[in-house]
């Protein structure tokens, strides 16, 4: 029987057994719901906001304020209808009963409840209050209404960031950042979950001694490869299963995905495959050194530590995607799986950087597969006390 | 035929196997005996390719063993091990397939062994839900499910109740009758005596006794049990070349004869001393042979 057929058999068993486990089903459902919530909740919140407002105007409201109302309608994308109100009392009554959303007088803006700054009503009322006070100031300074309008129409001065390379804006407003943050967190959790699953799977086979029966029929590296492959396919399947409902809902409800989203999703999947290949082998080697589940944490700690460091690296890269350190982190194999997708989405990568990171990670994986295979073969049949790395490699 | 030649394995300062050689033909059952730590498990692991011995070779049908040949062996390790959460049938099918059977064949033979081992009711149960005795049956099924040519069983009888022992013995006999070579280790020497065609005894890594059970029993000095009305021992001890071994509670005396002593002379001496009640050839028990071999 060919090695590939054996690896497929082993992988198939891992896939069947693990996909039946309650913990897998629960975690998949939980992550899917959480992701779905991140797509649906913001929509529910924004959908709560009406897109038309009635703005009452009473008394000597400067022309400047009236023209600001028109400008705000365009800026907020909502309809602001101006309603002339006979006196302040009537206006306040109408604001209180809700037939007016806000009331502008010669000297103040009246609302029913103080609106959140981030809402449309909050922005409109805040800006009107500002313009009211500015126009009073302009009049006192003796500006004509044209001069005042001109002064008001100037936008804010630019804010220049020294960290941004080439003077470019740091993060474009439509960058796929929320998607990236979610994706990197998901990637990190998947690498950790399925990497640890490999380690505990190896220990489990040693603990139950079933490994001796298996190794009387198949080679250690076939067993290792099948286990890694089976659990990896399961990990990838979980990623797809949790992301699909969220994506379907996002597309169905017409949520505009930020530009570059597809590239980001693609690179996250690529780096799951590469990162999992690298880390799962390290976890398998760590697991094979011990015979009891309680000890598995000790030997797999260095691997978990590297993964946590990679996550920290990705956060660093997220804050300064084009710094020298970020470039190195994105190429260095242990950190690349989390750092490179981050840098690729946020930074300014040269054409060769992603391919180089892929090649380096593959090369490191190849070396680790050989090393892990030796450690695994040398230690998987040693039961009892923890096997020293040196013994395993002998 | 399985042939082990000059197997040597050292663990640190311990010589686990010291040039062990023996062979088992197809259709024969070989009991592999020895005190704890004698090297039995190490030798069996070497046969199964789980362990690469420091020196020596293992051959099957005259050829060195490769992966494909080894897949036609069935193995039951001393430390039993199964996936606890897998179903019984599922597990047997999986093991048969790892040994190279197609899915269809694996399903058929899994069901055949489930029935033969009395597990029909538990075919869908998870392994962990079974009693230890039943788990052991599954383990045996795992060694047999791919119709192996050689069975290597490390302590297959340990932990079995008398009915389990009968089932196991019957299975091994049938397998041998179908041409399978069977090697198993055991400390239950009475069982080995009943079941085995031949035995190999190892002690401190070296072979100390080997051969057909019947032939081994006839080796060494002959013993006879002699009984008369009264005490036969003075008359028997008077015969040159006869030594007293023991006197049983029922008065029967066991004597050992030097090679040139004719049993007729002993019979005559006993008959003259009194009316004869018992005269028989005494063959040593396997346990006696074992103790002698290991004590040497």
pLDDT, average across residues A362-390? 81
- Distance in angstroms (rounded) separating the CA atoms of residues B124 and B120: 9
Q: Report pLDDT digits (tens) over A311-320.
A: 999 999 999 9
Q: How many whole angstroms separate alpha carbon B53 and alpha carbon B39? A: 12
Give, for A227, the enclosing helix (H) or strand (E). Answer: helix A220-252
The closest CB to that of A17, out of B73, B77, B86, belongs to: B86
Residues of chain A by 3-state class (helix, strand, coil), percent to 5: 70, 5, 25
Give the nearest chain B residue to A9 (CA atoms).
B98
CB A96 within 8 A of CB A49: no
* C-alpha dihedral, B160 to B162 to B164 to B166, nearest 10°: 130
Which of A179-183, A212-216, A390-394, B86-90 has the lowest average pLDDT? A390-394
Q: How far apart are CA B130 and CA B128, in angstroms?
A: 5
Minimal C-alpha gap between B81 and chain A (Å) = 4
Task: Report which DSSP code applies to A322.
Answer: T
Cross-chain residue pair B81–A211, CB shorter than 8 Å? yes
Q: What is the percentage of chain A residues whose pLDDT exceeds 90? A: 33
Instruction: Please give, rounded to a whole number of angstroms, the shortest distance from the CA of B161 to a CA of chain A.
Output: 23
Q: Is the separation of the CB atoms in A320 and A326 below 8 Å?
A: yes
Tokens for A192?
């950790």
Q: Which residue of A has its CA nearest to B69?
A: A217
Q: Which residues of B touch A (CB under 8 A)?
A: 45, 48-51, 67-68, 70-71, 73, 75-77, 79-86, 94-95, 97-100, 139, 142
Q: Does A13 touch chain B (CB under 8 A)?
A: yes
A6/B98 CB distance under 8 A: yes
* Residue pLDDT, tens place only, A156-191: 677 776 665 444 444 444 455 777 888 899 999 999
In the prediction, which pLDDT does A176 show? 56
Residue A166 is given by DSSP the state G
List the single residue in A6, A9, A210 with the smallest CB-CB distance to B81. A210
Mutation for testing the A interface, residue in B45, B48, B69, B81 having most A CBs under 10 Å = B81
Q: How far is B26 from chain A (nearest CA, A)?
A: 20
Which residues of chain B lie closer than 8 angstroms to A217, CB-CB?
A: 70-71, 95, 98-99
Q: What angle do CA A325, A329, A330 make, to 5 degrees?
A: 115
Q: How far apart, in whole angstroms, are the C-alpha atoms of residue A303 and residue A286? A: 8
Please report the number of interchain residue pairs, chain A to chain B, with beta-carbon separation below 8 angstroms. Answer: 61
Kindly report the average pLDDT of chain A as a whole number.
84
- The reported pLDDT for the residue numbered A233 is 95
Q: What is the ipTM of this complex?
A: 0.85
Closest residue by Cα to residue A318 from A305, A329, A303, A307: A329
For A213, which of B51, B67, B81 is closest by C-beta distance?
A: B81
Give the separation between CA B36 and CA B187, rounded to whole angstroms. 9
Check CB contact under 8 Å for A210 and B83: yes
Q: Can you give chain B as a three-state secondary structure string?
A: CEEEEEEEEEECCEEEEEEEEEEECCCCEEEEECCCCCCHHHHHHHHCCCCCCCEEEEEECCEECCHHHHCCEEEECCCCCCCCCCEHHHHHHHHHHHCCCCHHHHHHHHHHHHHHCCCHHHCCCEHHHCCHHHHHHHHHHHHHCCCCCEEEEECCCCCCCHHHHHHHHHHHHHHHHCCCEEEEECCCHHHHHHHCCEEEEEECCEEEEEEEHHHHHHCCCEEEEEEECECCHHHHHCCCCEEEEEECCCCCEEEEECCCCCHHHHHHHHHHHCCEEEEEEECCCHHHHHHHHHHC
A63 near B CB under 8 A? no
Chosen from B9, B50, B102 to mutate, greatest number of chain A CBs within 10 A: B50
For residue A94, pLDDT beyond 60:
yes
Q: Are strands B55-60 and B2-11 parallel, antiparallel or unpaired?
A: antiparallel
Determine contact: A9 vs chain B, CB below 8 A: yes
The distance from CA B264 to its chain's CA centroid, rounded to whole angstroms, is 36
Parallel/antiparallel/unpaired status of strands B222-228 and B276-282: antiparallel
Is A343 or A175 the better-scoring residue by pLDDT? A343
Cβ <8 Å between A216 and B73: yes
Q: A49 versus A220: which is more confidently predicted?
A: A220
SS3 for A100-125 is: CCEEECCCCEEECCCCCCCCHHHHHH
Q: What is the DSSP letter of A347?
A: S
The per-residue pLDDT for range A120-145, each reduced to its tens digit, is: 888 888 888 888 888 888 888 888 87
CA distances from B9 to A200, A364, B6, B32, B62 (A): 31, 35, 10, 17, 22
- Rounded distance between C-alpha atoms, residue A183 and residue A243, angstroms: 10
B69–chain A nearest CA distance, Å: 10
- Tell me what pLDDT residue A38 has: 80
Check B85 against A381: CB less than 8 A apart. Answer: no
Indicate the pLDDT class of residue A47, thresholds 50, 70 and 90. Answer: low
A99 exposed, middle or buried (CB, 10 Å; 0-12, 13-18, 19+)?
Answer: exposed
pLDDT band at A289 (very low <50, low <70, confident <90, very high): confident
pLDDT grade for A394, boundaries at 50, 70 and 90: low
Between vectors from CA B191 to CA B154 and to CA B285, what angle results, nearest 5°? 120
- Residues B77, A383: C-beta atoms closer than 8 Å: no
Residue B102: closest C-alpha in chain A: A1
Residue with tokens 């000095």: B221
Please give the residue that has the higher pLDDT: either A293 or A22.
Answer: A22
Chain B residues whose CB is inside 8 A of the A216 CB are 48-50, 70, 73, 75, 77
pLDDT > 70? residue A256: no
The reported pLDDT for the residue numbered B22 is 94
Q: Which two tokens stand for residue B96?
A: 């048969």
Question: Are the C-beta atoms of residues A52 and A79 closer than 8 Å to each other?
Answer: yes
Residue of chain A whose Cα is closest to the Cα of B12: A391
Structure tokens at A254: 């017409």
Picking from A1, A212, A219, the nearest residue to B79 by CB comes out as: A212
Handedness of CA A345, A347, A349, A355 (dihedral sign): negative
State the CB neighbour count (10 A cutoff) for residue B177.
Answer: 10
Burial of A193 (0-12, 13-18, 19+ CB in 10 A): middle
DSSP category for residue A85:
-
Confidence class for position A310, pLDDT limits 50, 70, 90: very high
Amino acid A105: pLDDT: 85
Rounded to the nearest integer, the mean pLDDT of chain B is 92
Using the beta-carbon criterion (under 8 Å), do B98 and A217 form an inter-chain contact? yes
Q: Which of A12, A24, A204, A210 to mutate to test the interface with B (most CBs of B within 10 A)?
A: A210
Partner-chain contact A219 B67, CB within 8 Å = yes
Chain B residues lying within 8 Å of A6, measured CB to CB: 98
Q: What is the pLDDT of residues B96-115, one digit of tens each?
A: 999 999 999 999 999 999 99
User: Rounded to whole angstroms, how far apart are CA atoms A164 and A154?
Assistant: 25
CB of A214 within 8 Å of a chain B CB? The answer is: yes
CB within 8 Å: B95 and A218: no
Distance from CA of A191 to the nearest CA of B (A): 25
B83, A212: Cβ pair inside 8 Å? Answer: no
Beta strands B150-154 and B73-76, pairing class: parallel
What pLDDT tens digit does each residue of chain B (296 aa) get?
999 999 999 988 889 999 999 999 999 999 999 999 899 999 999 999 888 899 999 999 999 999 899 999 999 998 888 999 999 999 999 999 999 999 999 999 999 999 999 999 999 999 999 998 899 999 999 999 999 999 999 999 988 889 889 999 999 999 999 999 999 999 999 899 999 999 999 999 999 999 999 899 888 889 999 998 888 888 888 888 888 888 888 889 999 999 888 999 989 988 888 899 999 998 988 988 899 888 87
- A341 within 8 A of A269, measured Cβ to Cβ: no
The strand pairing partners of B151, in sequence order, are: B74, B182
Quote the pLDDT of residue B149: 96
Closest C-alpha to B88, from B162, B16, B142: B142
Quick check: B83 and A17 CB within 8 A?
yes
Per CB-CB distance under 8 Å, the chain A contacts of B86 are 17
Distance from CA of B178 to the nearest CA of A (A): 22
A108: nearest Cα among A126, A89, A90, A93: A126
Q: Is A3 on the interface with B (CB under 8 A)?
A: no
Nearest of A316, A86, A184 to residue A328 by alpha carbon = A316
What pLDDT sits at residue A277?
Answer: 93
| Nearest-by-Cβ selection for B71 from A1, A10, A209 | A1
Question: What gap in Å lies between CA B206 and CA A288, rounded to an integer?
Answer: 32
Cα–Cα distance for residue pair B8/B206, rounded to 1 Å: 9
Q: What's the pLDDT at A171?
A: 44
Measured between CA atoms, how close is A279 to chain B, in angstroms? Answer: 25
Q: Evaluate if residue A265 carries a pLDDT over 90.
A: no
């Amino acid at each position: 029987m060919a090695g590939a057929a054996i690896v497929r058999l082993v992988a198939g068993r891992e896939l069947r057994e693990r996909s039946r486990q309650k913990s897998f089903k629960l975690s998949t459902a939980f992550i899917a719901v959480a992701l779905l919530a991140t797509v649906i909740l913001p929509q529910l919140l924004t959908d709560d906001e009406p897109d038309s407002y009635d703005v009452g105007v009473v008394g000597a409201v400067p022309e400047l304020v009236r023209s600001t109302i028109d400008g705000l309608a365009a800026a907020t994308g909502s309809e602001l209808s101006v309603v002339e109100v006979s006196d302040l009392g009537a206006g306040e009554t109408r604001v209180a009963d809700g037939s007016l959303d806000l009331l502008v007088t010669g000297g103040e803006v009246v609302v029913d409840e103080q609106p959140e700054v981030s809402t449309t009503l909050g922005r409109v009322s805040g800006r009107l209050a500002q313009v009211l006070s500015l126009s009073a100031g302009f009049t006192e300074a003796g500006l004509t209404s044209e001069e005042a309008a001109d002064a008001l129409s100037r936008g804010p001065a630019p804010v220049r960031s020294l960290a941004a390379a080439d003077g470019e804006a740091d993060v474009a407003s439509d960058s796929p950042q929320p998607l990236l943050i979610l994706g990197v967190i998901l990637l990190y959790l998947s690498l950790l979950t399925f990497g640890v699953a490999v380690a505990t799977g190896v220990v489990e086979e040693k603990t139950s001694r079933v490994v001796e029966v298996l190794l009387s029929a198949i080679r250690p590296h076939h067993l290792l490869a099948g286990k890694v492959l089976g659990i990896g396919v399961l990990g990838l399947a979980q990623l797809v299963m949790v992301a699909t409902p969220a994506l379907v809902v996002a597309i169905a409800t017409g949520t505009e995905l930020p530009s570059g989203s597809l590239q980001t999703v693609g690179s996250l999947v690529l780096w799951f495959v590469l990162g999992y290949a690298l880390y799962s082998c390290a976890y398998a080697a760590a697991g094979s050194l011990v015979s009891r589940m309680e000890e598995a944490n000790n030997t797999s700690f260095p691997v978990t530590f590297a993964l946590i460091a990679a996550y920290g690296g990705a956060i660093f890269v997220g804050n300064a995607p084009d710094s020298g350190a970020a470039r190195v982190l994105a190429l260095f194999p242990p950190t690349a799986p989390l750092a490179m997708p981050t840098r690729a989405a946020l930074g300014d990568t040269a054409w060769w950087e992603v391919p180089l990171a892929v090649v380096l990670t593959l090369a490191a994986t190849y070396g680790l597969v050989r090393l892990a295979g030796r450690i695994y073969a040398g230690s998987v049949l040693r039961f009892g006390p923890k096997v020293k790395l040196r013994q395993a490699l002998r | 035929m399985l042939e082990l030649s000059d197997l040597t394995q050292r663990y640190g300062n311990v010589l686990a196997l010291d040039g062990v050689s023996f062979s088992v033909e197809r259709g024969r059952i070989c009991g592999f005996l020895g005190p704890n730590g004698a090297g039995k498990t190490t030798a069996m692991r070497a046969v199964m390719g789980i362990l690469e011995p420091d020196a020596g070779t293992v051959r099957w049908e005259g050829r060195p063993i490769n992966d494909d040949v080894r897949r036609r062996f069935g193995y039951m390790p001393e430390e039993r091990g199964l996936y606890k959460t897998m179903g019984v049938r599922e597990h047997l099918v999986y093991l048969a397939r790892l040994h190279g059977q197609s899915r269809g064949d694996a399903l058929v033979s899994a069901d055949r062994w489930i029935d033969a081992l009395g597990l029909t009711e538990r075919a869908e149960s998870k392994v962990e839900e079974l009693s230890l005795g039943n788990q052991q049956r599954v383990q045996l099924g795992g060694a047999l499910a791919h119709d192996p040519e050689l069975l290597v069983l490390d302590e297959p009888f340990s932990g079995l109740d008398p009915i389990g022992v009968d089932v196991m013995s019957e299975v091994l006999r049938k397998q041998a009758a179908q041409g399978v070579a069977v090697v198993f280790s055991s400390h239950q020497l009475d069982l080995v005596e009943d079941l085995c065609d031949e035995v190999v005894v190892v002690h401190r890594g070296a072979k100390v006794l080997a051969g057909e059970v019947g032939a081994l029993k006839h080796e060494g000095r002959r013993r006879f049990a002699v009984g008369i009305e009264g005490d036969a021992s003075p008359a028997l001890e008077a015969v040159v070349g006869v030594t007293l071994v023991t006197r049983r509670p029922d008065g029967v005396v066991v004597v050992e004869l030097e090679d040139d002593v004719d049993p007729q002379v002993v019979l005559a001496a006993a008959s003259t001393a009194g009316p004869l009640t018992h005269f028989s050839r005494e063959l040593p028990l396997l346990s006696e042979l074992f103790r002698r071999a290991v004590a040497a």
